[in-house]
């Protein structure tokens, strides 16, 4: 609820001139911000003629004037008026939040937090569910495709990335074709191929470089460059397979 109050407060932040209870005089629209001494009947007829957007713009300007006046001339009267208006604004925000909450209870399909939870317990379940979904997608991809790994034996980032990629490939049963740029294999990939024209085909300019490749179509897509964690590999490969699957 606090979040919704904040949203409403920010939305109406430039507004600072509220008058008597709007809900007792809702037909006057946003003209309830005006001085009681003004001609109320005239305001009522005007408020019916303007749109809600125009009423809000008018209210914003009037409330901004009130808070500016309280800052420039902080008399007890001006400050009191600003506080009263701010309290009334908060009350309207509370009412909106209460009604919104009731609508969500009556229509749970509108509750965004059910899809994207915010509390810690629900978040944990959400992340576990997302992780399982990613794993299923990658394991399915591994049945017919794999990864091309370009590296250089003297590259410290390649040596650090080597066990990460090895564990990733074993965990998700995805094949890796290691290609050494200098003809020397890394310990985890002793059966590496020596680069011939593959790096030119893939336009490899840095090591390590990792590409998702479909050998049936010859299509490929870059997954990572440089030292990358296993969790990043999981996320990147999943995003590629779900967002750019037409390119693989």
| pLDDT averaged over every residue in the chain | 79
Full domain range(s) for residue 177: 120-247
Q: What is the pLDDT of residues 63-99, one digit of tens each?
A: 888 899 999 999 999 998 888 878 877 888 888 888 9
For residues 73 and 22, give the distance between their C-alpha atoms in angstroms, rounded to a whole number. 27
Q: What is the pLDDT of residues 208-241, one digit of tens each?
A: 999 999 888 888 999 999 999 998 999 999 988 8
- Answer whether residue 36 shows pLDDT above 80: no
* Residues 96 and 146 grouped into a single domain: no
- Which of the listed residues 114, 133, 152 is the one where a domain comes to its end? 114
Total structural domains within the chain: 2
- Answer whether residue 59 shows pLDDT above 70: yes
* Residues 139 and 171 grouped into a single domain: yes
DSSP string, 104-149: HHH-GGG-HHHHS--SHHHHHHHHHHHHHHHHHHHHHHHTT-EEEE
pTM: 0.51
Q: What is the pLDDT of residues 161-210, one digit of tens each?
A: 999 999 999 999 999 999 999 999 999 999 999 998 899 989 999 999 99
Q: What is the pLDDT of residues 107-137, one digit of tens each?
A: 887 877 776 666 666 666 666 677 788 888 8
* Residues 147 and 242 grouped into a single domain: yes
The pLDDT value recorded for residue 247 is: 63
- Which of the listed residues 69, 93, 114 is the one where a domain comes to its end? 114
Long-range contacts of 115-120 (CB under 8 A, 24+ apart): none
């Amino acid at each position: 609820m606090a979040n919704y109050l904040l949203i409403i407060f920010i939305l109406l932040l430039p507004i600072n001139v509220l008058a008597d209870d709007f809900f007792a005089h809702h037909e006057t629209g946003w003209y309830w911000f005006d001085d009681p001494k003004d001609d109320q009947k005239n305001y009522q007829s005007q408020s019916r003629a303007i749109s809600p957007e125009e009423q809000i713009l008018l209210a914003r300007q009037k409330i901004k004037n009130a808070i500016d006046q309280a800052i420039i001339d902080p008399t007890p009267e001006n400050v009191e008026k600003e506080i009263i208006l701010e309290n009334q604004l908060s009350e309207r925000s509370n009412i909106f939040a209460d009604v919104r909450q009731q609508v969500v209870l009556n229509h749970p399909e509108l509750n965004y937090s059910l899809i994207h939870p915010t509390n810690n317990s629900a978040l944990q379940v959400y992340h576990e569910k997302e992780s399982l979904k990613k794993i299923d997608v990658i394991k399915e991809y591994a049945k017919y495709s794999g990864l091309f790994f370009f590296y250089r034996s003297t590259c410290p980032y390649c040596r650090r990335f080597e066990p990460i990629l090895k564990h990733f490939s074993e965990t998700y049963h995805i094949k890796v074709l290691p290609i050494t740029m200098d003809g020397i294999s890394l310990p985890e990939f002793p059966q590496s191929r020596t680069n011939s024209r593959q790096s030119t085909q893939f336009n490899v300019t840095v090591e390590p470089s990792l590409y998702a490749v479909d050998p049936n179509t010859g299509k490929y897509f870059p997954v990572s460059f440089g030292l990358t964690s296993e969790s990043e590999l999981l996320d990147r490969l999943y995003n590629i397979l779900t967002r750019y699957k037409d390119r693989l």
